[in-house]
Structure 1
Amino acid sequence: AALGRLLEVDLSKEEIFRLAFESEKIVHGNPSGVDPAISTYGGILAYRRSMGIERLNVDADIPLVVGDTGIERVTGEMVSRVSKMRERYPSIIDRIMDAGGNIAALGVNALKSGDLETLGELMNINHALLYAIGVSSDEIERLVHAARRAGALGAKLTGAGGGGCIIALSRRLNLDRIAEAIRHAGGEAFITEMSLEGVRIEE
């Protein structure tokens, strides 16, 4: 978006997403595309590379705490690690991937109905699968379990794993307690909400 403004080219959000996705491929090798999709379009999206983007109409209040491990993640390394696991244990890893897809579909239903308890449980199950395929870390686990002990409905790593951040779903009254628990476990914590706007340029 910023480059488009600099070059005086009027880009649609679809064009911004496509260009950002191609740029991410250069940096990460084989990214999912979810990061540029969320950053470009905003709101709550269901995204599959093979099926594209579905915007979800969600009325529920969904407060989140982001916990940052402070450790830089390397997406390419994580993708390579999962690929090697799949080569060694194809029948197991394929079933884990299928389960992840089922969790995502159930999560969409929970979001649409405002069922935060179910959404939190699904986040926890999904995180366990990500741990099983080797993309978690000791630092991530500390923050995830600290958030859950402090009352999070669900907590999981976000992004490629190996470092980076976790997200914790909470009732609003527990946000400060969860954020403090994450900080006490060695992370940096941010209380946040969903942005519906997506990419914008500020003068």
Structure 2
Amino acid sequence: MPLKMLVTNTNVGRNTKALVAGVSERTLRHPDAMSSVFTAVDSISKELSSLIESPTPDDLSMTEKEERLQELMEMNQGLLQCMGVSHASIETVLRTTLKYKLPSKLTGAGGGGCVLTLLPALLSGTIVDKVTTELESCGFQCLVAGIGGKGVEICFGESS
């Protein structure tokens, strides 16, 4: 399932070791609740993987898949916030993209770093430009990336 994502670098460094320690401490304080959070994250990851790997025969199916992907991203981000790995800069990106009805979630360990925003196939380039301009005015760096597809191919000669 080919997708376009806006990758926003918050330019905030993070200490992965401290973030992991924070999640561990929270898990010790709230073992049952955190166990449920981890189970939900695992369930979302499996559903996302299945969704991305299933074939998309037409545009309607692609739109439906993007809507499901949007919901999964939003749920996952909420769970990551429950774990305590978000950051004020990440929340700024989330508020900004939400104004344009675009789902976002932190990536990596959180605590800063990058945020992924789904750019639906039917989204206009004007909206992408507006979001990017607004995020860059906050001091963030933005990059549009295409993901999915076959990957790298090397062709020799004239045949493809």
Give the TM bin, normalised by the shorter chain.
0.7 to 0.9
Indicate how the Cα distance of structure 1 residues 122 and 73 shifts in structure 2: closer, same or farther if over 3 A, else same.
same
1:181 aligns with: 134
Q: Look up the SS of the partner of 1:193 in the other structure.
A: strand
1:193 partnered with 2:146: yes
Q: Can you give the 5+ residue segments of structure 2 that lack an aligned partner in the other structure?
A: 55-61, 153-160
Contact 1:147 1:179 survives alignment (8 Å): no
Q: Check if 1:78 corresponds to 2:31.
A: no
Q: 2:117 aligns with which of 160, 163, 168?
A: 168
Gaps of 5+ in 1: 1-59, 198-203
Q: Which of the numbers 38, 48, 67 marks the counterpart of 1:97?
A: 38
The letter for the 2-side match of 1:189 is: C
The residue number in structure 1 matching 2:3 is: 62
Report the 3-state secondary structure (helix = DSSP H, G, I; strand = E; otherwise coil) of the residue aligned with 1:63: strand
- How many matched pairs? 137
The reply on whether 1:151 has 2:101 as its aligned counterpart is yes
Give the distance between the partners of 1:168 and 1:178, measured in 2 at CA: 10
Kept after mapping to 2: 8 A contact 1:143/1:182: yes
CA shift, 1:137, in A, is 0.7
Residue identity (%): 28
Q: Deviations over 1:63-97 (max 9, x none)?
A: 00011111111111111110000011000101000
**In structure 2, do the counterparts of structure 1 residues 181 and 112 end up closer, same or farther at CA, with 3 Å as the change threshold?**
farther
Give the partner amino acid of 1:176: D
CA distance in structure 2 between the aligned counterparts of 1:186 and 1:125, rounded to whole angstroms: 27
**Residue matched to 1:109:** 50
TM-score by length of 1: 0.63
CA RMSD of aligned residues (A): 1.6
1:135 paired residue number: 85
Are the aligned partners of 1:66 and 1:191 in contact in 2 as well (CA < 8 Å)?
yes
- Aligned mates of 1:177, 1:150 — CA distance in 2: 9
Tell whether the 8 Å contact from 1:150 to 1:181 is kept in structure 2 after alignment.
Answer: no
- The CA deviation at 1:144 is 1.6
